[in-house]
Chains A and B, each alone.
Chain A
Amino acid sequence: MRLWLKLAALALLVCTATATATAFTQQNTPPAAPVDNRRSGLLDMSPATQALQRDDTLNPAWLWLQDGERTFATDCARCHSVAAMGGVATRYPAFDAILGKPVTLAGRINQCRLRHLKTNALPIESAELLGLETFVAQQSRGLPIAPPADPRLTPWREQGRTLFAQRFGQLGLSCAQCHDQHAGGRLAGSTIPQGHPNAYPLYRLEWQGLGSLQRRLRNCMTGVRAEPFADGADEWTALSLHLMQRAAGMAIETPGVRP
């Protein structure tokens, strides 16, 4: 029965893929093919929501991304070329020697603004920062996640792994209980995804807007009725480090769409 269901779902996927390929050409959307039993959250969505991500002309994330592209051209392009941004998002969070701790891609962009552009840091989760981060991460689309082997990251990654397995909140649930042990199961009407960070920042239908991985993690924490860590706290970065390690080798899908 299960196998039959899987086959039917696969046939449905093939149908939608051919249907959306007609009017607009497919724009190098990554295949998101799992190399092992890991699967992108993309595959756990309805065909209609998948179509939003698979066709760039349908993906609402471009409303933010095009602003990010403009900001990159005016600010970042003084030092960086767009081509050089390919693969950057696969390596973050990475260790920042001056701060003495790991930074996310958004944190890196802000550090760059402070140190080299001598301008203000953009507020966390602001449209400007999300747009810029999305534009930079989009240059890595289709590339495998490649967490750096930097030994200075190891304690942080370990902390992230501990947090992932730690029970939180009034419901007393850990990340691992849903996204490792019950991935593929159901939480009310929704399929529980494996929780991979390979499509962030992404457009979430529930948010009706673009959001970062940190926002998604915060959602999960309030979901189990825990008090989330402070905005920009190191715990988020540690969790991100663990999640990226857990998803190593999976293709970046930024900008994703999720329900």
Chain B
Amino acid sequence: MGKGIVHLLRQARRGQLLEVRATTLHPMETGQRLDSLGRPLARDIVRRIECRWGNDLVFAADLFPAVAANPYVSFFVVANTSAVVTVRWRGDNGFEHQEAVSVEVL
């Protein structure tokens, strides 16, 4: 089970530019490191972050190794209609987590 935080204004004017800040709990193991016995540690990273405004995909990012643990992303979206905004993280070993925020556009 994952954990995540999404910060976003809950109310906005139509056409307003909103900043979305999203963090998730994840070790982001690069796959390049060795454990104490010299065995390689398997890669375990978040591969993709998607943000949907209602059903519309408004932001997506592919992540690669060399991103620090608990990855944080920030991006801007234009508020056009009231909707449930979801941010979804997916990654190695079936990692999946989603956070939803309702935004009211006045």
Contacts and interface: CB of A to CB of B under 8 A. Distances in A.
A181 interface: no
Contacts of A66: 3, 5
Interface stretch (A54-62, A72-80, A110-118): A54-62
B95 interface: no
B3 A63 contact: yes
Interface stretch (B35-43, B68-76, B77-85): B68-76
Given A58-B72, A60-B70, A60-B72, A67 B3 contact: yes
Nearest to B19: A23
Contact of A208 (B4, B5, B69): B69
Main secondary structure of the interface of A (DSSP, over half): loop
Contacts of B68: 208
Contacts of A23: 19
A58 B70 contact: no
A24 interface: yes
Contacts of A62: 5, 23
Max chain B Cβ within 10 angstroms of own Cβ: one of A23, A62, A209: A23
B21 to A, nearest CB: 5
Contact of A58 (B4, B21, B25, B69): B21
Contacts of A63: 3-5, 23-25, 70
Contacts of A208: 27, 68-70
Max chain B Cβ within 10 angstroms of own Cβ: one of A24, A57, A62: A57
Contacts of B5: 62-63, 66
B41 to A, nearest CB: 14
A60 B3 contact: no
A66 B5 CA distance: 9
Contacts of B13: none
Contacts of B70: 60, 63, 208-209
Interface string B3-35: 111010000000000010101110100000000
The 4 A-B pairs of least Cβ separation, nearest first, read A208-B69, A57-B7, A63-B25, A60-B70
29 contacts: A23-B19, A24-B7, A24-B19, A24-B21, A57-B7, A57-B21, A58-B21, A58-B72, A60-B23, A60-B70, A60-B72, A62-B5, A62-B23, A63-B3, A63-B4, A63-B5, A63-B23, A63-B24, A63-B25, A63-B70, A66-B3, A66-B5, A67-B3, A208-B27, A208-B68, A208-B69, A208-B70, A209-B69, A209-B70
